[in-house]
Structure 1
Amino acid sequence: MRFALKTILLLILASFLTAAPLFAQGNLPKLKQASFVESYSPAEWMVKAAGVGGGKKKYREKNAIEDARKSAVYFCLYLGTDPLFNTAEEKSRFAFIEQDFFDINNVNKYVSWESAEFTLRVKISGGKELKIEKVFRINVGILKEDLINQGVLMATADLVAEIGLPQILVLPEVPKGGNPLEAMQNRSELKHASRSIESYLTAQKYEVIVPEQQDFLNNYTETMHLVEGTGEDMSYKIALAIGSDVYITYSVYIERRMVGSTENKKASVSVRAYETTTARLLGTETGYSYERPSPDEVVVEEAIHDAIDKVLSRVNAYWKEDLQRGVQYKIIFSITGMFDEDEVEDIQFALSDVIDAFATRSKENIVTDQTMDYQVWVKPSEYDKARDLYRDIKDDFAAEISGAKVRRQQINRKLLLLEVVND
C-alpha cells in the first residue's frame, strides 16, 4: 500500500514537473527565432520570423503562422542589437503583463503586413509539427505607444520633461583634416542624405541642428578657434563648438551598372553616432538599398532608412543611461594668469574641490600646469542651463582662492571654456 501511494505521488510530481515548462510558456512564442530585415519607415520594422504549429493537421499551418507573428513581436522587444527594452527595469515591468500581451489577438494588431510566401516550410517532430518562416512588417510605433500607456516604457514627453531628448548634429564623414561643411556643399548626394537623416530625426521628435541656420554659423565662428587643441576630427570640433549632445556622421556610396540600356543603382550608407563631449562611438550601422533604376536620391534615402533606426536605438539607450547620472558637460579650465608653481597647485586643488561639490559624478581627462579638462554630470533640476553652472563655479572658486578668479571664454549647451586669471 505504501509502495503504491509512493508511486502515485512520484507520478503526480513528475507530471507537474513536465507540465511546468508548458505552463510557463503560456502565450509566449515557442521558437523565438527572428532576424531584422530593414527599417521600412520610422514606425515600422521588417522582420523575418519562424514559428512552429502542432495539433490537428488542418490547423498546423495557422498555428505556425501565429507563432511566427509572436516571434516577430518578441524580437522587437527583446532580441537583436536594438530591442525596445534597453534596461532591466523595463523588462521587469513587462513581466507582469507578458502573458496577456502575447495573446494572439493583441499580437495581431502590431502586424501591419506579412508576406504571402514562406521562406521556409518543413515538417518536424516526425511529421507532428510544422515549422514555417516568413517576413512580417511590425508597427513598432503602435507597439511603443501601448507599452508607454501600460507603464512599461517611458514616454518621449516624460523623457523630454525630465532632461530633454538629445540635440543632434548631422555631418558627412570626411578624410582627416577635411571640412564636412564644405563637402556637403560640393556634393549633392551628401546634402540630400543629410536632409533625409534630419527629416527622420525630426519625425522622431529629436531637436536637430541644421548647419545652414544662422545661429549655427554664429556659434561656429565664435568658438571653433577655442577648441583647436581638442583633436584632428573636424566633425568632433564642430559638434563641440556648437554644443550638440550627439553628432552623427555618414558616408554615401552608389554602385552603378548597366542592364541593357538601363542604369541600375544600389546605394550603401554608413551611419555613426558619437557622444559629443568625448567623441565616444555610440553605434554604427550600414544600410543598403535594393538595386533599381531610380534617381540617386531614392536609393540613398532607402539605404538611410535601413541604417538610421538601429543607430538611434543605441543613441536612446545611451541617453537613458546618461539620464540616470544627470546632464553632462565638458569643462576646460585654462590657467593663464601669472602664478608661481605653488599657486598653480592651489588653484588646481580648489577647482577639483569646486567640481566635487556640485557634480553627481566627474571624470578628470587631462591635467597639466596650464589646463584641466573635465567631464561632469549634474542634476538637471539644479542646472538646466550652462550659465547657472558657470555662475556657481565662479562664485565657489572665489570663496576658495584669493588673488585669482574664473572668467569665461565661451559657453554653450555642452561646453564651458573657462580661464583662471589674476584677480
Structure 2
Amino acid sequence: MNFVNYAIGFLVLFASIAAADNGTVSTRKNANSAYKELDGSSTAKKSGGEIKHTDRYSQYEGKYAPKDQPQSQPQVITSIPEDFPHPVIMVIPALNSKGLSGLQVVTNNPLARAAMDGINEYLTQRRYEVKYLEGNEALDKVIQVQNSLASSDEDLAYLASLVLNADVYIKFSGSVDRRGIVTVELNAYESSTARLLGTQNSTIDSHGRMEKIDQQANLKTAAKKAMPGLESKIYAYWADDLREGNKYKVIMNIRGDYDDSQIEDVEEDIVQNVKTKFKKAKVNTMTAKTIDMVVYSDSDDVNDVYSQIRKAVKSTASTKKINITKKLIIMDVL
C-alpha cells in the first residue's frame, strides 16, 4: 500500500491544530494564509477501490513538494571528508503559498517542531551552522526585502535563506496516515539560485500508536533518518559549486525614466558590462522593470562584489543600493 499517495500535508495539519487552540492566526502585511480547511475527508486510490480517510487528521490535506527537479542526478557519496567546507543551512517548513504565516508554524506547533528538531539535531551533530526563521526581527527583514523588489513573486523561503545568509535551505513536509505510518520528505535547495539539490524521504511505523507524544518522537526520528541521504546529495553539488566561486543573487530594479527601446539598450549594456567583471554571470529573468541574475566571484565580500557591479553599470546608468546581505544584492538602476 502506498501511504504517500494519501499523505496528509504537515503544514496544514500543524496550522489546523494551532488554530484550534488559539483561534485564527493573524498574518503579517503582504502575507497570505498558507492553510485551507477542506470538507472533512480526503480520498486516495488503491487497486481494488477507493479508500476514504476517517482519522482525526483526514479533514486536512496539502501537497507541498516542489514541482521542479534537479537538473541532473547527483553522484552518490558514501563518505564526506572531515575537511568538507560545510554550507550554512536554513531549515523551514514547505509551503504551498507565499504567506509568511506558514513560516512561523514551528513556533506554535509541537509536531512541526519535532520534525525540525530532528533535522537540526543531525546538522548540529555534524557541525553545520543552522539558521531558521523565527521571531519578529527575522520576519521583518524578509518583509523588508520583499517590499524592496519590483516584483513580489519570489518564494519567501528562498528570500528568507538569502536574508539569513544561508548557503542551502531545506524544506520539510510530511504525513501521518491512519495506521500511524509517519512519512517525512526533505528537499534541499541552493540559496543563490533556488536550484533543487536533492530530495530524500523516510518512513517510520508507529505500529498504531497515535498519541501525540508518539507522533512527535516518530516525526523527529523520520526526519533525522532522512538526513544522511540528503546530506550526500547536498555535498555532491556543493563540492562542484565551490570550484565556480562564490555565488551572489543580484536584483536590479529599473527605476529610470526610459522608453521601451531605451530599456532594451540599457539592460543589454548592463548585462554585458557585468559579465566582464566576474568569472561567470547568468541572467535568470529580465523584464522591463527588473534584471535578476547570479554572479560568480572569487571574493567572499559582498560589498566588494557590489562595488564591482556599480563600476560595471556606471557608464550606462546611475545606481542606488537598496539592500545587501551575505548572498543578496538589491539595487535600483536610475
SS of corresponding position for 1:278: coil
> Deviation at 1:315?
0.9
Gaps of 5+ in 2: 1-72
Structure-2 separation of matches of 1:267 and 1:341: 54
Query: Structure 1 residue 226 and structure 2 residue 226: aligned?
Result: no
User: In the TM superposition, what are the counterparts of 1:120-199 in structure 2 within 5 Å?
Assistant: 153=81, 155-156=82-83, 159-160=84-85, 165-178=86-99, 179-199=101-121
Query: Does the 8 Å CA contact 2:186/2:230 hold for their aligned counterparts?
Result: yes
Q: Specify which of 157, 174, 195 is matched with residue 280 of structure 1.
A: 195
* SS of equivalent residue, structure 2 residue 166: coil
Deviation at residue 185 of structure 1 after TM alignment: 3.2
Equivalent residue for 1:202, pick from 124, 134, 153: 124
Structural RMSD (CA): 2.7
Structure 2 counterpart of 1:206, which letter?
Y
Q: Residues of 2 paired with 1:353 and 1:280: CA distance?
A: 24
Ranges of 4+ aligned residues in structure 1 off by more than 4 Å: 340-343
Distance 1:243 1:369 in 2: 29
Separation in structure 2 between the aligned mates of residue 365 and residue 316 of structure 1, nearest angstrom: 24
Q: Distance in 1 between matches of 2:224 and 2:76?
A: 17
Per the TM alignment, residue 167 of structure 1 is displaced from its structure 2 partner at its CA by 1.8
Please state how far the C-alpha of 1:420 moved relative to its aligned partner.
0.9
Q: Structure 1: any 5+ residue segments left out of the alignment?
A: 1-79, 86-139, 145-152, 258-264
Aligned counterpart, 1:83: 76
Which of residues 212, 226, 250 is equivalent to 2:172?
Answer: 250
- Greater percentage in helix: 1
CA contact (8 A) 1:266 1:299 kept: no
Aligned to 1:384: 300
Partner of residue 148, structure 1: none
Shift of 1:287: 0.6
- CA shift, 1:312, in A, is 1.3
* Contact 2:77 2:236 (C-alpha < 8 Å) held by counterparts: no
> Is the alpha carbon distance of 1:203 and 1:271 closer, same or farther for their aligned partners in structure 2, counting shifts above 3 Å?
same
| 1:316 CA drift (Å) | 1.0
Kept after mapping to 2: 8 A contact 1:410/1:417: yes
Displacement of 1:222:
2.2
Count of paired positions: 257
Deviation, 1:328, is 0.9
The letter for the 1-side match of 2:205 is: Y
Offset of residue 397 of structure 1: 2.5
Distance 1:295 1:274, change over 3 A: same
Shift of 1:195: 2.1
Whole-Å separation in 2 of the counterparts to 1:283 and 1:345: 37
1:337 matches 2:256: yes
SS at match of 1:295: helix
Contact 2:183 2:204 in 1 (8 A): yes
Deviations 1:267-294 (CA, angstroms, capped at 9, x unpaired): 2111111222332221111111233547
SS of corresponding position for 1:358? coil
Verify the 8 A CA contact 2:120 2:130 in the aligned structure 1: yes
The 8 Å contact of residues 170 and 249 in structure 1, kept in 2 or not, is answered as: yes
* 1:220-369 aligned within 5 A: 220-227=142-149, 229=151, 231=153, 233-257=155-179, 265-292=180-207, 293=209, 295-341=214-260, 343-369=262-288
SS of the residue corresponding to residue 170 of structure 1 reads: strand
| Aligned mates of 2:152, 2:162 — CA distance in 1 | 9
1:237 to partner: Cα distance = 3.6
CA 1:338–1:387: 2 relative to 1, 3 Å:
same
In 2 relative to 1, CA 385–81 (structure 1 residues): closer, same or farther, beyond 3 Å?
closer
**Bigger radius of gyration:** 1
Equivalent residues of 2:184, 2:202 under 8 A apart: yes
| 1:395 corresponds to which of 291, 311, 318 | 311
Check conservation: 2:145, 2:323, Cα contact below 8 A: yes
Distance 1:332 1:233 in 2: 14
Which is further off, 170-179 or 312-321?
170-179
Deviation at 1:177, TM superposition (A): 4.0
1:351–1:253 CA distance, 2 compared to 1 (3 A): same
Paired with 1:336 and 1:200, the residues of 2 have a C-alpha distance of 45
TM-score (normalised: structure 1): 0.55
Amino acid at match of 1:384: D
Counterpart residue type for residue 326 of structure 2:
R
The 1:393–1:82 alpha-carbon spacing in structure 2 relative to 1, beyond 3 Å, is closer
Paired with 1:397 and 1:266, the residues of 2 have a C-alpha distance of 56
Distance in 1 of aligned mates of 2:272 and 2:322: 21
CA distance in 1, matches of 2:153, 2:251: 14
Q: Supply the AA of the counterpart residue of 2:325.
A: N
Corresponding residue number in structure 2 for 1:417: 330
TM-superposed deviation, 1:296 = 2.0
Query: CA contact under 8 A between 1:224 and 1:238: conserved in structure 2?
Result: no
